[in-house]
Amino acid sequence: MTFILTAVLVLGATGLILGLVLYAVSRKFKVEEDPRVGQITELLPGANCGGCGFPGCAAFAAACVKAESMDNLKCSACKSEVMQQVAAIAGHAIEVGVEKIAVVRCSGSCQSRPRLRTYDGARSCAVAAMMNGGETGCFFGCLGCGDCVSACKFDAIKMDPETGLPVVDQDKCTACGACVKACPRHIIELRNKNKLDRRVYVSCVNQDKGPVAKKACDVACIGCGKCVKACPFEAITLENNLAYIDFEKCRLCRKCVDECPQHSIIAVNFPPKRVVEEAPAAPETAPVETESTENK
Amino acid sequence: MNTFKIGGVHPEPNKLTAGKKIETLGLPQQAVFPLSQHIGAPAVPCVEKGDVVRVGTKIAEPGGFMSASIHSSVSGKVAKIDTIVDASGLRKPAIFIDVEGDEWEPSIDRSEKLVLQSTKTRDEIIECIKNAGVVGMGGACFPTHVKLCPPKECTIDTLIINAVECEPYLTADHRLMLEHADEIIIGIKVILKVLGIDRAVIGIEANKPDAIELLKSKTSMVSGIEVMPLQMKYPQGGEKQLIEAVTGRQVPPPPALPANVGCVVQNVGTVFAIYEAVMKNKPLIERIVTVTGQNVKKPCNLKVRMGTPVSQLLEYAGGMPEDTGKLISGGPMMGRPLLDETAPVVKGTSGVLLIPEKDAIRREERNCIRCAKCVQACPMGLEPYLLATASESGDWECAEENWIMSCIECGCCQSTCPSRRPLLDWVRLAKNRVGGIIRARNAKK
């Protein structure tokens, strides 16, 4: 009986002494952490995507608390409300930024851009871009090996098996920019989300002269400049045989979309146009509308 | 017989054209000269549209120290300076010349007569080689005048002539040795004079007994030039492997050069080009190209003017067989696929290989099973599976730590992989990226 009692007492005493030691040590070496860092980390998505420029969400939270203002601090994966909450916890004021979304600027599907050869090397756009000019006649367009898909931490990009092009899920995309960096052909761009997710953009990055571009792809921008003339807001510029719509200046009037002979300007998330009776241009807009629904 | 110690593979030699004499291909209708046919800065054009050029007229000046000039191989008019899709599928600027007649620069000695002696001094010879635009003809296209001026602190004692031609199918160097042995020996003497040494070793693989015998008989009366037969093993033609096979010395990892172990290596094709440049005043405007493949009707060795479209070579060889799956510039191990047959022959085109469809298909890739066959095969003692995995996950630091810059891209790893992993593709990507990182780091310093 005493044997058991001794054992219990000895163990109990050891536990008590060690507990006291641990308590003393934890008091002595306590790390003062700002409780706000923990709160902010909870709010952040926790994907550690690195889109903010910090090694992970916790590092970003610490930077927010430490910084004097929220300038240059932006979690691209958070909605603006969340960023406001973060700023409130950190004690900074913040302007409501414009939300962005990744946009794939290539429409060269299997039908519009015939495959001239087969690439059978490693399934990586980076390798394909380094080794050869891709499978089609276009030396600027999508290579279709899906580097952007594997770069996306939010499962927002998928390859469309029919067109062979990546499709961005606009609900999931957080505009962190990982795909933009991953694409060796610089096809993906972050553009303003706008009201109702409406976007107008040139879905082509081909800088070849018109005839060469047209031969390689049915929907390539040929640099004709019609859209530049049509734009009432001077939002479109033509450089290296390629039109580019400045999303800050674009007012989504869609005049360029109707004007483009190659249908390479795409309007997304607009309601179908009412058919104007006397306008002969109506049938021409039809294919653009179908493309826009494909891109949803 | 000697060979290098670690790694290496034994691919099927398939030297279909070893017995075929060199034939001369006719002139093309239009010749195209890409401005970067060599390692280093692209050349800068010194002609304009509409200019009339002759065979041997310089059309582009070197674009820097590490660069080479380019000469017209045809006479005619400059049609345009535009971009062309080169062998590796990238767009490069090029000079297009419409061919009219065949008028040579008068300074070029076109006779067949052997020129034995030259009164040129060392510096004059180097200037001559530089002006002739000679680059390494083995495939890497390293400007020869740079290679012949090793860093001052290195003492060179051996010149190694690379006559290995370990790449399957190719026989251009082999035929050159059989038909132009005298010129090659004079070329070697010229290089020895430039380097100021008196020992040269010609390394030849044992599968070319006729060339070994011929060169042995020709050099028996010449002191200082030795012919060394080597065991067959790929990639013996690699500079570092050949140095080890011939001298037993190992070149340290980059940035060390062969000169650090006292060796300079030159390909036989380069030696012949040096002979022509120095003795005949003829710039590098022609080269021997092997056109071959299992199903090619008339495989042959052709003497081709630079800038000739590959399609003309194929036509001469009996046309492209219908079942061709891949068109390769170079050999099956290190060659690069040609995107289309309109690509021109450049200084580095050692062969055109047509692979039938059934052999061209890469089978489905499986997971790495860590069998380490690639490690055994790697002649540089690297771990290709590790490098490929690092590259796949974008871990450039890991790739650099594991000596990726030592990789010679010989393709031994890929050819032995039982899981058919595209190891070389990934390693090439990582090498490209790590090279960029290192250059950026050096530029900062």
A73 and A180 fall within a common domain:
no
The pLDDT tens digits for B251-278 are: 998 888 899 999 999 999 999 999 999 9
Asked which of A72, A90, A108 is the last residue of a domain, the reply is: A90
User: What ipTM, to 2 d.p.?
Assistant: 0.83
Asked which of A90, A109, A125 is the last residue of a domain, the reply is: A90
Residue of B nearest to A133 (CA): B89
A65 and A180 fall within a common domain:
no
The listed range with the strongest mean pLDDT (B22-26, B117-121, B324-328) is: B22-26
* Sheet strands (E) in B274-416: 286-292, 300-305, 324-329, 336-337, 351-356
Determine, yes or no, domain membership for A9: no
Average pLDDT over residues A147-161: 90
From B153, B244, B158, select the one nearest B196 (Cα to Cα).
B158
pLDDT higher at B222 or A80: B222
**Quick check: A132 and B88 CB within 8 A?**
yes
Would residue A181 be called left, alpha or beta, if left means φ above 0 and alpha means ψ between -120 and 50 degrees?
alpha
Q: What is the pLDDT of residue A30?
A: 86
**Quick check: A127 and B429 CB within 8 A?**
yes
Query: Is-contact A255 A230, C-beta < 8 A?
Result: yes
Count of domains observed in chain A: 2
Instruction: Number of A to B CB contacts under 8 A, please give it.
Output: 41
Partner residue facing B339 (CB), from A120, A121, A132 = A132
Would residue A92 be called left, alpha or beta, if left means φ above 0 and alpha means ψ between -120 and 50 degrees?
beta
pTM: 0.83
A45 and A173 fall within a common domain:
no
A48 and A175 fall within a common domain:
no
A285 and A230 fall within a common domain:
yes
Q: What is the pLDDT of residue A279?
A: 44
Query: Is-contact B69 B43, C-beta < 8 A?
Result: yes
Q: What is the pLDDT of residue B88?
A: 64
Question: CA-to-CA distance for A126 and A143, rounded, in angstroms?
Answer: 9
Give buried/exposed letters for B373-396 (b at 16+ CB in 10 A, else e).
bbbebbbbebbbbbbbbbbbeebb
Question: CA-to-CA distance for B89 and A132, rounded, in angstroms?
Answer: 4
Q: What is the pLDDT of residue B424?
A: 93
The pLDDT tens digits for A269-280 are: 888 766 555 544
A254 and A167 fall within a common domain:
yes
**Quick check: B428 and A130 CB within 8 A?**
yes
Q: Find the domain containing A83 and state its range.
A: 35-90
Question: CA-to-CA distance for A266 and A295, rounded, in angstroms?
Answer: 9
A137 and A195 fall within a common domain:
yes
The pLDDT tens digits for A243-256 are: 999 988 888 888 89
From B279, B254, B255, select the one nearest B189 (Cα to Cα).
B279
**Quick check: B429 and A132 CB within 8 A?**
no
Question: CA-to-CA distance for A267 and A293, rounded, in angstroms?
Answer: 9
**Quick check: A130 and B432 CB within 8 A?**
yes
Residue B367, pLDDT > 50, answer yes
Interface residue of A116, A117, A120, A212 to substitute, partner B, most B CBs within 10 Å = A120
A153 to chain B, closest Cα gap in Å: 14
A125 and A170 fall within a common domain:
yes
CA-angle at B419, arms to B414 and B422, nearest 5°:
40
CATH of the domain at A165: 3.30.70.20
Q: Where are the domains of chain B?
A: 25-99, 122-279, 286-360, 373-444
Determine, yes or no, domain membership for A44: yes
A45 to chain B, closest Cα gap in Å: 23
A105 and A82 fall within a common domain:
no
A131 and A202 fall within a common domain:
yes
The pLDDT tens digits for B132-188 are: 999 999 878 899 999 998 888 889 999 999 999 999 999 999 999 999 999 999 999
**Quick check: B85 and A124 CB within 8 A?**
no
CATH of the domain at A52: 1.10.15.40
Query: Is-contact B73 B94, C-beta < 8 A?
Result: no
> What is the topology classification, in CATH, of domain B25-99?
OB fold (Dihydrolipoamide Acetyltransferase, E2P) (2.40.50)
Query: What does the block give as tokens for A243?
Result: 């039109």
B286-360 classified as CATH 3.10.20.600: yes
A67 and A213 fall within a common domain:
no
Query: Is-contact A108 A138, C-beta < 8 A?
Result: yes
A152 and A280 fall within a common domain:
yes
Neighbours of B65 (CB within 10 A): 10
Determine, yes or no, domain membership for A211: yes
> What is the topology classification, in CATH, of domain B122-279?
Rossmann fold (3.40.50)
Distance of CA B114 to the CA centre of its chain: 25
Dihedral sign for Cα atoms in the order A8, A13, A15, A16 = positive
Q: What is the pLDDT of residue A277?
A: 52
Three-class secondary structure of residue B390 per DSSP: helix
